Chains A and B, each alone.
Chain A
């Protein structure tokens, strides 16, 4: 998942959780606040009542009756007066049912015991719970609306800001990583950002790629120079040996020895040539401007290899679409690539084995070519480095120089051809070439 998606999800979910929590605790919260405020209000009212009673005298209310109950004095709240027992009790506030003026309702009631002219009375000040809670609902609703409004607003602000903040990261990823091809020759300008972390990341990536490129350049230069330098002594040796091999002058034993030396020299020559070839490909010395039909190319390759099939009694079959035309490739290099793969398929095959070439050619899809053999196969643990220089896969009696597949991978990389290998020891190997879309006509 992308960082921005993750952040978006996190921001939205966390805010939703806050809303949910608020919705859950809001009713109890509002109820509590209303009650506390009401309790405080009742005690204020109690003081007011006591003051009025002190001013008017208690008989003004009792008028000879033993008790008194009415809304008259406070309008909103009822009060009741009645004689109390001996005990002085502290003020209590409780929710109780009371009958006032012939209505039985639930009240929040404050009870207060006081002395007046040597008599002990109990005063109750009560307010219906219905009136206490009458503003709770609209208050809750309003609070919720305001909250949701604020949350939506902050989410939008957060997302816009996150997007702005992360934009340099996106630029870094697309400029430095996604669209870059080894060996990183082109340079995108440094990313504009005030975030030091991104700046550091960008600089480090540029630096790293530059170092990789330099190392690669050096290796390439060395390969090229070393190979050139090796060519001259190899040439001299070869001509010297050729001059030695003149009829009659040498015995059979000598001729055999010189032939052995020539074989070794030939091997050296092949290695140097392969290295030079690889470095030339890496130096972009081959124009990618050829257009050709893959089945013709296969025929050309097989013309060079046909003569080796009877040796092991191999069966070669090709089943590729005649309309498969590839373009923007170097014909000679692709020839070499397929030649090397087919050559291996022959060399590492078993007596009476087979080689099958097939393809998948669908419009709008990259062209795929499969080369299957029934050869000795490649052990799983070797599969990862069969394309590295000088790694020879398991001793096979046949002499390989470990560069054939190296050349294959260099050519494939040069043309952005993706390559996959699957192999089963003793059963055979399948090489899959996936040509980039732009090369398929």
Chain B
């Protein structure tokens, strides 16, 4: 899939590209003019749009871009973070909205969710060791038997699965699940409680060695 990153802050754009290029083909644009040009030349699946561009208001660009690339999915990334911007952005056809500073992991998770929703992948089942995770139906299977996880536990598991083979800190996990309400108090062990529950529920069926604890950091799904 092809992604256009429109971001005037070059360091930021570079980091986003570095992160996303493992899963996507990325193009960069540092202003609205470049962005429109790129859009004429290529078709994109995702357009990541920073609202604070030097040469044009991001929301205006969004309107124009949607004419050029109506099939792309748009995610607004902004430090403006105002409620009206968010509502306007979504009204103008953006698929999602991430206030800066956002986590790249979260960005990818949102992109994946949009892709699943938009491209209506029928088979959304992902293998996880001896288990299978159905991301659409939000269910975990072992052979034919369904394993019941709570909403938060499933969120946690699928997030780790998406970012498999990557150490995830407790903070990143809690930020994904509780969003703005993630607790300030990062040493709290409530993420551990959830992980313990996931391990307990799944290990009744098969081995969960893939769910690793990383000392001082957090957790990782190693596949």
Within 378-417 of A, Cβ neighbours of B (below 8 Å) are at: 398-401, 404
Stretch at the interface among A84-92, A137-145, A230-238, A359-367: A230-238
In the assembled complex, the Cα of A310 lies from the Cα of B82 at a distance in Å of: 36
The 8 Å CB contact of A232, one of B79, B181, B184, B222, is B79
Q: How many residues of A contact B (CB 8 A)?
A: 43
Q: How many residues of B contact A (CB 8 A)?
A: 47
Chain A proximity of B73: nearest CB distance (Å) = 20
10 contacts between A and B (CB under 8 A): A231-B101, A232-B12, A235-B100, A240-B11, A247-B220, A255-B216, A259-B216, A259-B217, A263-B186, A399-B184
B186 touches A266 (CB 8 A): yes
Stretch at the interface among B58-66, B122-130, B136-144, B164-172: B164-172
Chain A proximity of B117: nearest CB distance (Å) = 24
New A-B contacts (19) at CB < 8 Å, excluding given A239-B12, A310-B193, A347-B183: A232-B9, A234-B100, A239-B19, A242-B19, A242-B105, A243-B15, A243-B18, A245-B169, A246-B166, A259-B169, A259-B217, A280-B83, A285-B83, A285-B84, A308-B190, A311-B193, A347-B185, A399-B186, A399-B187
Is B24 interfacial (CB 8 A cutoff)? no
In the assembled complex, the Cα of A259 lies from the Cα of B217 at a distance in Å of: 6
B15 touches A286 (CB 8 A): no
The interface residues of chain A lying within 8 Å CB-to-CB of B186 are 263, 266, 399
In the assembled complex, the Cα of A285 lies from the Cα of B85 at a distance in Å of: 11
User: Which B residues lie at the A interface, using CB under 8 A?
Assistant: 9, 11-12, 15-16, 18-19, 79-84, 100-105, 152, 165-167, 169, 171-172, 175, 178, 180-181, 183-190, 193-194, 214-218, 220, 222
In the assembled complex, the Cα of A276 lies from the Cα of B214 at a distance in Å of: 34
Is A304 interfacial (CB 8 A cutoff)? yes
The interface residues of chain B lying within 8 Å CB-to-CB of A310 are 193
Name the 3 nearest CB pairs between A and B, nearest first. Answer: A239-B15, A235-B101, A231-B79
The interface residues of chain A lying within 8 Å CB-to-CB of B215 are 252, 256
B166 touches A286 (CB 8 A): no
B15 touches A259 (CB 8 A): no
Q: Looking at A234, A242, A339, which has the most chain B CB atoms within 10 Å of its CB?
A: A242
B101 touches A269 (CB 8 A): yes
B216 touches A236 (CB 8 A): no
The interface residues of chain B lying within 8 Å CB-to-CB of A276 are 81
B16 touches A247 (CB 8 A): no
The interface residues of chain B lying within 8 Å CB-to-CB of A262 are 169, 171-172
Chain B proximity of A302: nearest CB distance (Å) = 12
In the assembled complex, the Cα of A131 lies from the Cα of B69 at a distance in Å of: 124
The interface residues of chain A lying within 8 Å CB-to-CB of B193 are 307, 310-311
In the assembled complex, the Cα of A286 lies from the Cα of B84 at a distance in Å of: 10
The 8 Å CB contact of B184, one of A231, A248, A307, A401, is A401
The 8 Å CB contact of B83, one of A240, A245, A286, is A286
A 241-261 to B, binary, CB cutoff 8 A, 1 in contact else 0 = 011011110001001100100
The 8 Å CB contact of A235, one of B102, B165, B217, B218, is B102
Is A211 interfacial (CB 8 A cutoff)? no
Nearest B residue to A269 via CB reads: B101
The 8 Å CB contact of B104, one of A232, A243, A280, is A243
In the assembled complex, the Cα of A243 lies from the Cα of B16 at a distance in Å of: 9
Tell whether A399 pairs with B185 under 8 Å between CB atoms, given A263-B171, A276-B81: yes
Is A315 interfacial (CB 8 A cutoff)? no
Is A218 interfacial (CB 8 A cutoff)? no
Chain B proximity of A333: nearest CB distance (Å) = 11
The interface residues of chain A lying within 8 Å CB-to-CB of B103 are 238, 242
In the assembled complex, the Cα of A238 lies from the Cα of B105 at a distance in Å of: 11
The interface residues of chain A lying within 8 Å CB-to-CB of B172 are 242, 262
The interface residues of chain A lying within 8 Å CB-to-CB of B220 are 247
Chain B proximity of A54: nearest CB distance (Å) = 120
In the assembled complex, the Cα of A246 lies from the Cα of B11 at a distance in Å of: 19
Is A418 interfacial (CB 8 A cutoff)? no
In the assembled complex, the Cα of A256 lies from the Cα of B152 at a distance in Å of: 26
In the assembled complex, the Cα of A425 lies from the Cα of B184 at a distance in Å of: 23
Is A267 interfacial (CB 8 A cutoff)? yes
The 8 Å CB contact of A400, one of B11, B16, B175, B184, is B184
Is A228 interfacial (CB 8 A cutoff)? yes
